[in-house]
């Protein structure tokens, strides 16, 4: 039994949290594929630009590429052209992108799509008009044609139900927390030295875009930083998204994308994670920090509870600043957040994320072959 996996998110300029989820699930699939049986995965995506093989080819699976590179590939897929082959028992896309769903047909393979949030509706003002239009159109196609929709949290499931998806067509498959490699401390310390950071620092991890709330985060940090005595820095890790540049401020460092081993090192050296997006389908950086034994200050995202994070109001600079103040000053609070955070992280594994997908694919593929 073979499943065609659309992994085109790996070929996007900014793959984001969806890329982390996909990449970690594929790694788990590769390491566990010899145990437990189940469908075999074959990857599919847009043809890489230039002479590169593309990350899909590097994942160690059989794969097929479309005839074109992005953005042409996505434009053709949106028109229902250059479709993937149908000689598979099931088709799954780990994002809303890639080929549009096949019209439901007994002759077609069963199909499932991942929809991890509906932020183009609930945070519409943080999306460009073209992005809102594309997401609304593609979501309607997925809602009408997909046999199952995979989402990432109970909260995102309720949101999708409110947008017209029948609950029995939704499958919640949370992420794992154990995807980051061992820390490359030498590379991490070299990065900090090159930035001129000598003292303590707070860290935030996100794509640079409006709904990540970075302007309020920076303003809150600037308001409270002088209270910390020794120089305290704020290190923001993540690629440029859209929505205008972030204004540089004293002791605030935008370091862009870093290797996973360097991120592990930064988590190990930071005082705390400050993560205050306006809304998320899950909020994977919270789990990353929990697993790294780093205390977390966060907004109310599905990955955050009142035990594994210190919760703040993301729309209040005062609330964010107070969270920073407390997590830096209160040793007992930090200790509690680390302990509860590690307990939370241990409840999530990418092996289980992979197995949940396998169970779903096997069920759908067998149903479609009846």
Q: What confidence score (pLDDT) does residue 66 get?
A: 95
Q: What is the mean pLDDT of residues 226-238?
A: 90
Which residue range forms the structural domain that includes residue 316? 185-345
Shared-domain flag, residues 112 and 202: no
Q: Domain count of the chain?
A: 2
Q: What confidence score (pLDDT) does residue 153 get?
A: 97
Q: What confidence score (pLDDT) does residue 106 get?
A: 77
Q: Is the pLDDT of residue 179 over 70?
A: yes
Q: Is the pLDDT of residue 185 over 70?
A: yes
Q: Is the pLDDT of residue 342 over 60?
A: yes
Q: What confidence score (pLDDT) does residue 205 get?
A: 97
pLDDT per residue as tens digits for the range 33-92 = 766 667 899 999 999 987 788 999 999 999 999 999 999 999 999 999 998 888 899 999
Shared-domain flag, residues 72 and 217: no
Shared-domain flag, residues 218 and 319: yes
Q: What confidence score (pLDDT) does residue 369 get?
A: 41
Shared-domain flag, residues 202 and 97: no
Q: What confidence score (pLDDT) does residue 36 get?
A: 63
Q: Is the pLDDT of residue 194 over 50?
A: yes
Shared-domain flag, residues 211 and 303: yes
Shared-domain flag, residues 31 and 135: yes
CATH number at residue 121: 3.40.50.2000
Shared-domain flag, residues 100 and 7: yes
Do 308 and 289 meet the contact criterion of CB atoms below 8 Å apart?
A: no
Shared-domain flag, residues 116 and 198: no
Q: What's the mean pLDDT when you consider all of the chain?
A: 93
Shared-domain flag, residues 218 and 144: no
Q: What confidence score (pLDDT) does residue 79 get?
A: 95
Q: Is the pLDDT of residue 13 over 70?
A: yes
Shared-domain flag, residues 298 and 329: yes
| Single pTM value for the model | 0.94
Q: What confidence score (pLDDT) does residue 370 get?
A: 37
Q: What is the mean pLDDT of residues 164-187?
A: 97
pLDDT per residue as tens digits for the range 104-140 = 887 788 999 999 999 999 999 888 899 999 999 999 9
In this prediction, residue 368 has a pLDDT band, given cuts at 50, 70 and 90, of low
Q: What confidence score (pLDDT) does residue 126 get?
A: 86
Shared-domain flag, residues 162 and 226: no
């Amino acid at each position: 039994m073979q499943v065609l996996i659309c992994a085109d998110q790996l070929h996007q300029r900014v793959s984001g949290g969806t890329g982390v989820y996909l990449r970690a699930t594929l790694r788990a699939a590769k390491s566990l594929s010899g145990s437990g049986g189940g469908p075999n995965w074959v990857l599919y995506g847009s043809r890489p630009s230039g002479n590169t093989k593309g990350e899909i080819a590097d994942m160690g699976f059989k794969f097929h590429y479309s005839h074109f590179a992005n953005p042409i590939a996505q434009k053709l897929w949106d028109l229902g052209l250059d479709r993937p082959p149908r000689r598979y028992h099931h088709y799954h896309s780990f994002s809303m992108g890639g080929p549009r769903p096949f019209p439901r047909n007994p002759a077609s393979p069963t199909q499932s799509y991942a929809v991890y949030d509906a932020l183009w509706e609930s945070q519409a003002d943080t999306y460009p008009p073209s992005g809102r239009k594309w997401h609304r159109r593609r979501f309607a196609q997925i809602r009408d044609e997909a046999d199952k929709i995979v989402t990432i949290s109970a909260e995102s499931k309720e949101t999708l139900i409110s947008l017209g998806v029948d609950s029995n067509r939704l499958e919640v498959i949370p992420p794992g927390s154990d995807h980051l490699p061992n820390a490359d401390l030498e590379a991490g310390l070299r990065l900090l030295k090159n930035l001129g950071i000598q003292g303590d620092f707070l860290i935030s991890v996100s794509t640079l875009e409006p709904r990540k709330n970075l302007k309020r985060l920076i303003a809150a940090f600037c308001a409270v930083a002088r209270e910390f005595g020794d120089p305290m820095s704020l290190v923001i890790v993540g690629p440029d998204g859209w929505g205008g540049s972030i204004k540089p401020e004293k002791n605030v460092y935008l370091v862009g994308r870093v290797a996973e081993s360097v991120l592990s090192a930064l988590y190990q050296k930071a005082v705390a994670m400050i993560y205050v997006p306006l809304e998320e389908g899950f909020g994977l950086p919270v789990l990353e920090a929990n697993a790294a034994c780093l205390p977390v200050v966060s907004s109310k995202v599905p990955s955050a509870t009142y035990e594994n994070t210190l919760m703040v109001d993301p729309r209040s600079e005062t609330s964010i600043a107070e969270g920073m103040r407390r997590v830096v000053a209160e040793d007992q609070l930090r200790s509690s957040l680390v302990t509860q955070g590690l307990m939370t992280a241990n409840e999530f594994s990418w092996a289980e994320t992979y197995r949940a997908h396998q169970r779903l694919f096997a069920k759908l593929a067998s149903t479609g072959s009846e």
